[in-house]
Amino acid sequence: MRATLVFDLDGTLAETAPDIMATLNHLLVREGLAALPVSAARNLVGAGARALLERGFKAAGEPLGPERLEALFQDFFVHYLDHVADSSHLFEGAEAALRQCREEGFALAVCTNKPEPHSRVLIEKLGALPLFDAIAGRETFAFCKPDPRHITETIRLAGGDPARSIMVGDSRTDVDAARGAGIPVIGVTFGYTDTPMQELAPDRIISHFDELRGAVRALGL
């Protein structure tokens, strides 16, 4: 089996905060609340849309009850799907690094808590869909990160072996899931996390995709 690299999506492969925050702000303003700055994304994005809505509405001064949260959750994804790539883009060096890894024989996969349909549309609009052997979203399996099975099953979906795989992510959710799966993890410093990546102590840390291949080699793949 080919060695496999598994990537988180939001904040790892792609800068998606502007479009995610734009959808959150669309709902906040619709509900009569003030919009939040895109700079708030680091503390809001990364744990899924429900958490984003809970955190965002709390930050705007109006905590959500369960029924209202569920209704807003559905509205969020309808609006976001239509605007998933208005301003989003791959991080600098990401496409070149992915192409290099494919040329060297790696299988590549995405393991994200973003819904799979939204993930596929986003990756396609960013021109990267042909680079991946598998894309697994929040509902692809009956579990999602930080459950380690989300990573291991994504690897198997890509035709890989968890024993010859590495996770690349930007948050505690990614690090914890990889640790639970017994898989080395590379943390990026440019993503969405309320805890600095250094404090999460991944196996390697990169601050640019130019550093990815060296970090992978250092971990034995």
Residues with catalytic roles? 8
Please give the Cα distance from 204 to 188 (Å, whole number): 9
Block residue for tokens 């990267």: 128
Q: What is the DSSP string of 92-126?
A: TTHHHHHHHHHHTT-EEEEE-SS-HHHHHHHHHHT
Rounded to 5 degrees, φ, ψ at 166 are -140, 140
First to last CA, the chain: 13
Please give the Cα distance from 122 to 101 (Å, whole number): 21
